[in-house]
Chains A and B, each alone.
Chain A
Amino acid sequence: MKPAPFRYVRPSSVDEAISVLAAEGYGAKPLAGGQSLIPTMNFRLAQPAVLVDIDRLDELRGIRDGGGDGATNGLYIGAMTRHSELERSAVVRDRAPLLAEAMPWIAHPQIRNRGTMGGSLAHADPAAELPAVMLALDARIHLRGPAGDRTVQFCDFCTGFFSTALAPDELVTGVEIPPLPAGTGTAFLEISRRQGDFALVGVCAVVTLDAGGVCTRASLTLLSVGDGPVCAKTAEDALRDRTLTPDAVRDAGEAVATIDIDPPADIHASAAYRRQLARVLTARALDTAARRAAGA
């Protein structure tokens, strides 16, 4: 099928984009990489009246180490930074290895050449990698609307199935990832049917160990097991002050599978299969993250 007609606007600044969105209301949508929006328009699942093309707004692009607009010296990533730029970035590999590890799992190279970080976060697909990564890394998302700039902690950004705290006249301008504490290791794991398909289940693990190898902080998030990225709170709490022995990571996998998630069943996988994948992937991801934290 073909998309329904729409009016195309190519603003020359973020503020101009926002005033067009504000004037047009719910009928208008930002067009970023188009890799989620255009397929839905091709099937006429979405028929926006106006598309505001933010692709050429260079102020929304780029990766800045220590360049967060906030007080932390985190890693700042502009919304229009493409998946392929993140995938190739040495700074991202160095400062946010979890993000670097997740990138190749997003679709195919041809899609990553167009798709953007901001688009993925705004779209909030429960099977998407980036929202789960940002949740695990305790990122802060930067938004701008007619009333100015605001930042939202990522855990408050995703509000439900394909839903976020974003107002229709707001743009995601970037995201800020705080530095990892010393003694921290991360791991990303995912199972999909074929290379490039959406995840059946994915897991992000961030583990901080003290000098004695005891876990002082664990962050565990999952994708494709709920309405959005899911934080496995029970398992996280149970890991604190423990040594990550094979038993401890197995217990964490069990807690994730039986308490923390309530996965959907669909044509891709049954709920029981998703629980089993979550159980196994959680244990593996924790084990890998702990070994990386120990510098092994």
Chain B
Amino acid sequence: MGETLTIRLTVNGKAYDRPVEPRLLLSDFLRHDLHLTGTHVGCEHGVCGACTVLLDGEAVRSCLVFAVQADGAEISTVEGLATPSDGSGIPHPEDADLHPIQAAFRESHGLQCGFCTPGILMTLVPFLEENPDPDEEQIREALSGHLCRCTGYQNIVTAVRLAADRMAT
């Protein structure tokens, strides 16, 4: 391993202080160093969207950010969306405390294998904050930065609409 630098950042509200090699991608830092494997890695060139996380509240590709660049930042990943009622840190599908977007995906069959899902969910959190009542075209545009090989997107669009309705009330 080459030289390391120490970074300090928060991930899902928890503070971390870690030595990293400059070339370590944020996606690999989350997965390998912090064992937060909910953030997926597909293409490593920004196209598939599986690695999308929030950096200081904005959706970004974690495969196109070096961990050292996130020094001082607040990161949110899919693991931070649900609030597990049993305190385990691991949300269970039957858990009542799924994030409304997660619950809508589950109910509308917005996922099949689930590989693309964490990235899509992280894109949707700020998207629905900015667009609380999106039409289908806006939803499809928001999803355009994500590749899903299973669903054909139809049920994802339905899920987003359902989540928007629920979050409005």
List A residues at the B interface (Cβ < 8 Å): 1-8, 10, 31, 34-35, 38-39, 41-43, 51, 53, 55, 84, 107-111, 113-114, 194-196
A34 and B23 contact, CB distance less than 8 A: no
B45 and A34 contact, CB distance less than 8 A: no
Given A109-B142, A196-B145, answer yes or no on A4-B59 (Cβ-Cβ < 8 Å). no
Least CB distance, A47 to chain B, in whole angstroms: 10
Once the chains are docked, how many angstroms separate the CA of A4 from the CA of B22?
Answer: 10
> Would you give 26 A-B contacts (Cβ < 8 Å), ordered by A?
A1-B44, A2-B28, A3-B23, A3-B25, A5-B2, A7-B22, A8-B5, A8-B22, A10-B68, A34-B65, A35-B61, A35-B64, A39-B44, A39-B46, A43-B45, A53-B69, A108-B144, A109-B59, A109-B145, A110-B59, A111-B46, A111-B61, A111-B64, A113-B58, A113-B60, A196-B145
Least CB distance, B22 to chain A, in whole angstroms: 4
List B residues at the A interface (Cβ < 8 Å): 2-3, 5, 21-23, 25, 28, 44-46, 49, 52, 55, 58-61, 63-66, 68-69, 123, 127, 140-142, 144-145
Once the chains are docked, how many angstroms separate the CA of A74 from the CA of B87?
Answer: 57
Additional 17 contacts, C-beta under 8 A, given A39-B64, A109-B142, A194-B144: A2-B28, A5-B21, A8-B22, A8-B68, A31-B66, A34-B65, A34-B66, A34-B69, A38-B63, A38-B65, A42-B25, A42-B63, A43-B44, A110-B61, A110-B145, A111-B145, A114-B60
Nearest CB in chain A to that of B44: its residue = A42
Contacts of B60 in A (CB 8 A): 110, 113-114
Nearest CB in chain A to that of B143: its residue = A195
Least CB distance, B33 to chain A, in whole angstroms: 14
